[in-house]
A = this chain, B = another copy of it.
Amino acid sequence: MADILHRVGIRSDSLQDVYNALTTTAGLAGWWTSNTKGEGDRVGNIIEFRFGAGGFDMKVAELEEPSRVVWELADGPQEWMGTTISFDLKQDNDFVIVMFKHANWSEPVEFMHHCSTKWATFLLSLKSLIEDGKGRPDPDDIKIDNWN
């Protein structure tokens, strides 16, 4: 098993603001993909994320407001099956620290390398959304390679 790990720090004194960006349709559409449907604020809900090339359906697996959000892939690309995504938030002085994990990849395939880099850009998009009021969700996302 292999995991993608990231850490970003967002200049904010509000865990709740970051939690909201991870659990509301408007929040998620502001940093990951503009084409987001569903509410992420209740365990068991399905959130539909769509991109130009496809998408992911995530089941909200765990919520600890305002510090933890966990999703399980409900439907999506084969390589993502069985993986989970978690966001753990904590306040550290002037920053909300986001500890991110996309866990349980069965193999460290080339697509996992791509997704690791791509997640970094989306987490920095989340940071921009909270700090500056504007993220870079798909289709305005940062392109990293020939796949996107």
Chain B residues closer than 8 Å to A44, beta-carbon distance: none
Q: Across the interface, do A145 and B9 meet the contact criterion of CB distance under 8 Å?
A: yes
The verdict on A100 contacting chain B, using a C-beta distance below 8 Å, is yes
Q: Across the interface, do B146 and A5 meet the contact criterion of CB distance under 8 Å?
A: no
Fill in one digit per residue for A110-143: 1 if any B CB lies within 8 Å of its CB, else 0: 1011101100110110010000000000000010
Size of A's binding interface in residues, CB under 8 A: 32
Chain B residues closer than 8 Å to A142, beta-carbon distance: 124
Given the complex of chains A and B, what is the CA–CA distance between A142 and B95 in angstroms?
Answer: 16
Given contacts A99-B110, A120-B121, A146-B93, contact A3 B2 (CB under 8 A): yes
**A4, A94, A116: residue with the most chain B Cβ atoms closer than 10 Å:** A116
Q: Across the interface, do A7 and B114 meet the contact criterion of CB distance under 8 Å?
A: yes
What are 11 inter-chain pairs, A to B, with CB distance below 8 A? A2-B3, A3-B108, A6-B120, A7-B110, A7-B145, A8-B144, A9-B146, A100-B113, A116-B120, A120-B120, A124-B142
